[in-house]
Amino acid sequence: MTRALIACFAIAASGTAYAQTWDEQIDGGGDAGDFPAPAGFQDTVGVGPLTTITGGIDFFPEIAQIRFDWVDAYCITVTDAEEFYATTDPHQDPNAGGFLDSRLWLFDLQGNVVMGNNDSPTNIFKSLLTDPGSYPGDVFDNPPSLVEGQQYILAISGFDNDPEDAAGENLATLGLSNALWGPNPDAGAFDHWENSFLDAVGSYTIALNGATYSTPAPGSLAALAGAGLIMTRRRRA
């Protein structure tokens, strides 16, 4: 590999957007939104493995305790289905944590629930998602295997805020709290979240493995394009 190409890859891997993290406020510029509403999620932008997402499910006390922030949703790309996980449980990954009693959800881009989890097998207040074949506990309702290279919406809510169809049927049952659940076969299309004022609030850090950002950072594309141009010129020389 030429020195010029090495330098271009170094440029592509530098900068604040490439720190392998995503912060709801700093990187996303505000609330991540309630998928499946239009623009109800943040596209994560960066290069390389995405290892943590940080944010919070909050009240807004400055507006007379009116609550707007029920769910946060992020678009990610699964790069290794077998090794993938997303968790708020520090027993599963020491980078995970926060104060939120969480529920984690994975949707496809059409709003269909892929899987959900309330309690991790090692922590009743934290959550864990993996490919069904890798989950260290019971699996119900046949969640589909994850597809490498595919984008998903990773959503987090506070206990016990669930996605529902128009008739109020939960999209995933979560009947046994520490199990991984697939789509509820009796539910219709995603219509809304339950959004109760009794739902848990708090900060969170989701630790991820086997995932990357949904959108490459513009600077990295320019650097890699430049590297390709350099290599093309050298071949012609």
pLDDT digits 0-9 by tens, 41-91: 999 999 999 999 999 998 665 555 566 788 999 999 999 999 999 999 999
**How high is the pLDDT of residue 61?**
55
What share of residues in the chain are helix, strand, coil (percent, to 5)? 15, 30, 55
- Count of other CB atoms within 10 angstroms of residue 35: 25
pLDDT value of residue 113: 97
pLDDT value at 229 more than 60: no
Contacts of 169 (CB under 8 A, 6+ apart): 184, 186, 187, 188
Taking 90 as the threshold, does the pLDDT of residue 228 lie above it?
no
pTM: 0.85
Domain ranges of the chain: 22-215
Cα–Cα distance, 131 to 204 (Å, whole number): 22
Residue 165 structure tokens: 């169809």
CATH classification code of 22-215: 2.60.120.380
Percent of the chain with pLDDT over 90: 70
- pLDDT tens-digit profile of 184-203? 999 999 999 998 888 899 99
- Tell me: pLDDT of 101 over 50: yes
Give the model's pLDDT for residue 198: 85
Over residues 124-139, the pLDDT tens digits come to 999 999 999 999 999 9
**In the predicted structure, residue 147 carries a pLDDT above the cut 90:** yes
Could you tell me how many residues make up the chain? Answer: 237
pLDDT for res 176? 82
CB 98 within 8 A of CB 203: yes
pLDDT tier at 36 (50, 70, 90 boundaries)? Answer: confident
Helix, strand, or coil (residue 79): coil
Chain centre to alpha carbon of residue 206: 8
Q: Determine the Cα–Cα distance for residues 210 and 229; give it in Å rounded to an integer.
A: 30
Helix axes 3-12, 218-236, angle to 10 degrees: 170
How far apart are the C-alpha atoms of 26 and 4, rounded to whole Å? 32
Residue 115, strand partner residues: 106
